[in-house]
Amino acid sequence: MANKNEGTGIQIEPLSLELVVGENAPVSNGTIRFKNLSTIPQFVTFSAVDVRSGDSEGNVDFLSNPVGGGQAVLSNFVQLATSSAKLDPQQEVMLGVHVQNLQSLPPGGHYAAVVARFSNSSSVLDTQVLPAVSGLLLIRKTGGERYHISLIDVEYSPQHLLLSLPSTLRLTFRNEGNVHLVPHGTIEFIDLRGRVIKKGIINDSSKVVLPQNRRQLSQSVYEVEPSFPIMVYKVKIQGSTNPGDVPFGREFSFLYISLPTIIIFSVIALISFAIIGRIFLWRKRR
């Protein structure tokens, strides 16, 4: 996936780069592509900064002054192949990213970003606040990973009676391990006859849940079979993570009565009451 900064016409790919640092490997290498899509030359400087998870939507905060707390400052382990470049129109640069496997880098997940600041003049790169694009670094050092994820909430309706079948479910995952995980799986709406009438794919865009954080994912479900107007449905959610193959799942049931069915029954009930009332009055007059 690529991203374009509309103000500068700069494209970056990929938006997130995952590197695995082997337990005994001295270094892990990767590349990020930056391309100038504008019609004027662009001067760029590259730097690596630490990040932390910002919210349950997956946004991250850049840390210009990383806090301590016993955690490794990942930007100290990241080396970039170059600190600056000039990109002519339609020119691109493949920026080499190298993660040093030092003893002070503990096993598990570590996170930083490569930030590229742009200007059409090299003289203002260090003197002004400039447009920037960034790529997220997802680093996993092997030899001590802890994989753990839970599906802690499914937001679909506060009631157990639904008048329409939902088209979207909002899932909340919590990662209690020490490395980032990508949950994948399926959502199925199953009726009492065992038919799957709705189905959805969990996280087909491979969004990441960072360690010790929550992540909300909105998942669409599509119709597989026509539904009955009145039915008890079971929602079955199941899947696993990559990496780690950690399973997760949840099941719940609800009663579905379609709104047209309620309207029809209401009309029939009103007509029935009216007829019964007339019969009662007729018999009373006799």
| HEC string for 202-260 | ECCCCCCECCCEEEEEEEECEECCCCCCEEEEEEEEEEEEECCCCEEEEEEEEEEECHH
pLDDT at 128 over 80: no
Model pLDDT, residue 25: 87
Given a contact cutoff of 8 angstroms between Cβ atoms, the answer to whether 99 and 18 are in contact is: no
At the topology level, CATH places domain 3-141 in: Immunoglobulin-like (2.60.40)
Q: What is the mean pLDDT of residues 70-88?
A: 80
Q: What is the pTM of this model?
A: 0.81
Q: What is the mean pLDDT of residues 90-100?
A: 94
pLDDT at 65 over 60: no
Q: What is the mean pLDDT of residues 18-43?
A: 91
Q: State how far the alpha carbon of 280 is from the alpha carbons of 2, 55, 269, in Å.
A: 75, 65, 16
Strand order in the sheet with 213-220: 149-155, 168-175, 213-220
pLDDT at 70 over 50: no
pLDDT at 164 over 90: no
List the chain domain ranges.
Answer: 3-141, 149-263
Model pLDDT, residue 80: 93
Model pLDDT, residue 117: 87
Q: What is the mean pLDDT of residues 104-115?
A: 89
Q: What percent of the chain has pLDDT over 90?
A: 50
pLDDT at 6 over 80: no
Tokens for 135?
Answer: 């790529």
Q: What is the mean pLDDT of residues 141-165?
A: 85
At the topology level, CATH places domain 149-263 in: Immunoglobulin-like (2.60.40)
Closest CA to 151 of 274, 62, 250: 250
* Phi/psi at 125 (5° precision): -60, -35
Confidence of residue 209 (pLDDT cuts 50, 70, 90): very high
Do domains 3-141 and 149-263 share one topology? The answer is yes
Residues 6+ apart with CB under 8 A from 184: 201, 202, 203, 204, 206, 239, 240, 241, 242
